[in-house]
Amino acid sequence: MAAGMAIESEGGDNNIYNGKITVFVILSCMMAGMGGVIFGYDIGISGGVTSMEPFLEKFFPEVHRKMKEDTKISNYCKFDSQLLTSFTSSLYVAGLVASFVASSVTRTFGRKPSVLMGGAAFLAGSALGGAAVNVYMLIFGRLLLGVGVGFANQVINVTTFYIFWGHNKLYEM
């Protein structure tokens, strides 16, 4: 459940925060919120798609066969496949490694090139995943998606930090 509140100041120095909701504030909040959304969105999508019969039939026929053969066994046993596990976890492992690389790229080249590199990797991974004809293309696309997510999550935190402290007079004291 979402909740919110407003704080009204009585006296004091109102020059630090003037309380205006500007386009910049809205876009900053949206950018910060999207950092967490992309991981959660992927969990929902990959979890749903890995249980779809047409997907399993095309990319993981042995899992599909096992699912159809015995309907009395648990889903944990049906989906016991190293290749399916690689498909699911490849994005998260790539995101972890890429976030460490992204910190060096951001420090060396700045935030804009990091965002562009992450966006390009994410776009390439999306295109490759959509055009995949075999499971290896699918996993490689997920690795590229993970690189994009890792870069985005690292850069979003740094950018949010700079947005906040860059406009706060207390930081200069």
pLDDT averaged over every residue in the chain: 80
49-54-66 Cα angle (round to 5): 90
Does position 15 have pLDDT exceeding 60, yes or no? Answer: no
Give the separation between CA 37 and CA 33, rounded to whole angstroms: 7
Per-residue pLDDT tens for 121-173? Answer: 999 999 999 999 999 999 999 999 999 989 988 888 777 777 766 655 444 43
The answer to pTM > 0.85 is no
Beta-carbon contacts of 57 under 8 Å, excluding residues fewer than 6 positions away, are 64
In this predicted structure, what is the pLDDT of residue 66?
81
Query: Mean pLDDT throughout 10-34?
Result: 71
Tokens of 81: 């496949």
Does position 42 have pLDDT exceeding 80, yes or no? Answer: no
In this predicted structure, what is the pLDDT of residue 160?
74
Give the separation between CA 110 and CA 28, rounded to whole angstroms: 18
Inter-residue contact 156 to 162 (CB < 8 Å): no
